Chains A and B, each alone.
Chain A
Amino acid sequence: GAGVSQSPSNKVTEKGKDVELRCDPISGHTALYWYRQSLGQGLEFLIYFQGNSAPDKSGLPSDRFSAERTGGSVSTLTIQRTQQEDSAVYLCASSLGRGARPQHFGDGTRLSIL
C-alpha cells in the first residue's frame, strides 16, 4: 500500500507477557518514529530512527521498551513484561528525512493489557 502499515491493529495480552508491534513505513522514507497515544498522557514520542544513524531513544519510558529497524525499513517495537499502564494506541510514522518534512502516520496498534 501507499501508506504506513501497522500490525496487528489490535492486541490483547496478559500482564507480564512480551509483545511485538510491527511498522512498515512508506517506501523511500528514511525516518521512522514511534509514538504512544494514551488517555492520561496524550501523544508521546517514544523513539526515532534516521537511516543508519543510532536511534534517538529519549522517549522510551522504561528499559522494558525497545525497538529495532532492520534494513532501514520495517521496524518492531517490543515491550517486555507488559504492565497495565502500557495499554495505549501505539502509532508509527515515517517521513522523508529530517526537518519540516511532514510525518505520515499509520492507523496504530491498540494494545490492551489485562
Chain B
Amino acid sequence: GDSVTQMEGPVTLSEEAFLTINCTYTATGYPSLFWYVQYPGEGLQLLLKATKADDKGSNKGFEATYRKETTSFHLEKGSVQVSDSAVYFCALRGDAGNMLTFGGGTRLMVKP
C-alpha cells in the first residue's frame, strides 16, 4: 500500500537558517503530494501541494518539488523564523484512494 517516510525530529535550527525536511513516498501511479503544518495548540493546515511530477508547491516562503524519479517531496525554506516552529507532515493522496496517507511528522524548533 501507499506509505510516506519523513525524517524524524526534532529539528532544531537558529533563526534565519536554511531548512530541509526530507520526505519520500511509495505509491502506485501518480499521487498528489502535500505538506501540512500543525502549530502548537492548533489544527492541521495545508501548507502547499503538488499534483504532478516536477510541479513545485510554494507558500509562506516554503517550497517543495514533486520528484517522481526519486519519489521525493522535500520541504525547504531559505530562512526560518521562530514563528515557523511547528510539526510538519508530508502526505500523499493516491490514484485509487481519496484519503491522505501521512508521514510520521517532523517537529521543527527555531531558536532566536
Instruction: Using CB atoms and an 8 Å cutoff, list the residues of chain A in contact with chain B.
Output: 31, 33, 35, 42-43, 45, 48, 50, 56, 59, 91, 93, 98-100, 102-108
Q: Nearest 9 A-B pairs (CB), nearest first?
A: A43-B102, A45-B99, A107-B43, A100-B32, A105-B44, A100-B51, A102-B46, A42-B104, A105-B43
A106→B99 contact, CB < 8 A: no
Instruction: Using CB atoms and an 8 Å cutoff, list the residues of chain B in contact with chain A.
Output: 32, 34, 36, 42-46, 49, 51, 89, 91, 93, 97-105
A59-B43 contact in complex given A43-B89, A102-B34, A102-B49, C-beta closer than 8 Å: no
A56-B42 contact in complex given A42-B105, A43-B105, A100-B32, C-beta closer than 8 Å: no
Give Cα A98 to B98, complex, Å: 6
What residues of A have a CB within 8 angstroms of the CB of B99 in the complex?
33, 35, 45, 48, 56, 59
Mostly, the B contact residues are: strand
Quick one: which of B46, B99, B102 has the most chain A CB within 10 A?
A: B99
Give Cα A98 to B100, complex, Å: 11
What residues of B have a CB within 8 angstroms of the CB of A99 in the complex?
32, 93
Q: Output the least CB separation between A107 and chain B (Å).
A: 4
Give Cα A107 to B101, complex, Å: 19
Q: Output the least CB separation between B109 and chain A (Å).
A: 18
**A–B complex contacts, Cβ < 8 Å, 14 sampled:** A35-B99, A42-B103, A48-B98, A48-B99, A50-B98, A98-B98, A100-B49, A100-B51, A102-B34, A102-B49, A103-B100, A105-B43, A105-B44, A105-B45
